[in-house]
Amino acid sequence: MGTGGRRTLVTGGAGFLGSHLCDALIRRGDHVVCLDNFHTGTRDNIAPLLAHPRFELLHHDVTVPIDVDVERIFNLACPASPVHYQNDPVQTTRTCVLGAMNMLALAERRRARILQASTSEVYGDPEMHPQHEGYWGRVNPVGLRSCYNEGKRCAETLFFDYHRQHGLEIKVVRIFNTYGPRMYVDDGRVVSNFIVQALRGDDVTLYGDGSQTRSFCHVDDMIAALLAAMDSPAGFTGPVNVGNPAELSMRELAERVIRLSGSTSRVVHLALPPDDPRVRRPDIGLAMQALGWRPAVSLDEGLDKTIRYFRAILNA
């Protein structure tokens, strides 16, 4: 897992991925500074850490500059579900771009190593399948998803320019669909949507004919990948794809969730949203080679854990 004891900043640390990352960093001995504006993050996610002597919480927005004494920075701050990032698209772009600029400026001041949580959305609706890191993508620059897609693409540009211009140690990780406990009931992402609908006995809503594909990585595997990327040799910058290459259609996912949850829900079809990618599957050859990482949690195992989490939340 690498050497612990560092002062490590996690922006978006009270969010879904960020809180799991804070947990893992505390377990390995880091002093964790969790920064969040609680726009989509929640104190519930980090409640068990609040009294820990090596955990520090900063209520702050990454679009505003800040100076913190840290050695490593994980920049995860940004709404990641379409419902949330399209709710205030201007602020989403500000978070992606100004947040990256402010965290890079902090990393330069502190000579800290910094990791950018980028996204498979930089590939847009891809013409190449599966997607590898050399593919430049097919992104609509003026669509409803552009605030997030183009914001993340610009953040990657800034990271590599800081690396070339200022010699900053950077890591850029392109995160593919991730799921697991601490997802939000109303976040609009497909796994949480399907599970919540199935557990409530509501219709499970498929967009389009359900033939579009995705690949789903359990949060435990994703956190292991982020740590491996941050701990990788200084010469390795990425970008590197991180996700589970096991691909399935949205119809297959809906049927699997209904089966695993024991639901009697039926599947119904809605209109396909604009710019919704038809296919999405990572080529993880680089992650396997450079990080020694590959996913270990099967989809059925991960879905079972996530269904149990949502069942407890809904029952409460």
Q: What is the 3-state secondary structure (H, E, C) of the chain?
A: CCCCCCEEEEECCCCHHHHHHHHHHHHCCCEEEEEECCCCCCHHHHHHHCCCCCEEEEECCCCCCCCCCCCEEEECCCCCCHHHHHHCHHHHHHHHHHHHHHHHHHHHHHCCEEEEEEEHHHHECCCCCCECCCCCCECCCCCCCHHHHHHHHHHHHHHHHHHHHHCCCEEEEEECCEECCCCCCCCCCHHHHHHHHHHHCCCEEEECCCCCEEECEEHHHHHHHHHHHHHCCCCCCCCEEECCCCEEEHHHHHHHHHHHHCCCCCEEEECCCCCCCCCCCECCHHHHHHHCCCCCCCHHHHHHHHHHHHHHHHHC
Give the residue among 135, 141, 153 at the shortest CA–CA distance from 281: 135
Distance CA 41, CA 18 (A): 9
pTM assigned to the model: 0.94
**Contact status, residue 54 vs residue 61, Cβ threshold 8 Å:** no
**Contact status, residue 48 vs residue 32, Cβ threshold 8 Å:** no
Determine how β-strand 7-11 pairs with β-strand 72-75. Answer: parallel
Confidence of residue 85 (pLDDT cuts 50, 70, 90): confident
Is 240 domain-assigned? yes
What is the structure's pLDDT at 1? 39
Is 171 domain-assigned? yes
Is 67 domain-assigned? yes
Is 158 domain-assigned? yes
Distance CA 231, CA 211 (A): 38
Is 200 domain-assigned? no
Mean pLDDT, the chain, integer: 94
Number of domains in the chain: 1
Task: Name the catalytic one among 85, 123, 135, 148.
Answer: 148
Determine how β-strand 247-249 pairs with β-strand 213-215. Answer: antiparallel
- Helix pair 190-200, 299-315: axis angle to 10 deg: 60
Is 117 domain-assigned? yes
| 123 is a catalytic site residue | no
- The boundaries of the domain holding residue 116 are 7-178+217-245+277-296
Distance CA 285, CA 133 (A): 10
- Asked which of 144-148, 154-158, 180-184 is least confident by mean pLDDT, the reply is 144-148
Is 208 domain-assigned? no
| pLDDT, tens digit (0-9, with 9 covering 90-100), for 123-135 | 998 898 999 999 9
Give the residue among 178, 187, 185 at the shortest CA–CA distance from 315: 185
Residues β-bridged to residue 58: 35
| pLDDT, tens digit (0-9, with 9 covering 90-100), for 59-73 | 999 999 999 999 999
| pLDDT, tens digit (0-9, with 9 covering 90-100), for 235-285 | 999 999 999 999 999 999 999 999 999 999 999 999 888 777 788 899 999
Q: What is the CATH number of the domain that holds 82?
A: 3.40.50.720
9, pLDDT greater than 90 = yes
Give the C-alpha distances (Å, rounded to integers) separating 170 from 50, 120, 240.
Answer: 29, 18, 12
Determine how β-strand 31-36 pairs with β-strand 55-59. Answer: parallel
Q: Other CB atoms closer than 10 Å to residue 260's CB: what's the count?
A: 16
Distance CA 316, CA 311 (A): 9
Is 184 domain-assigned? no
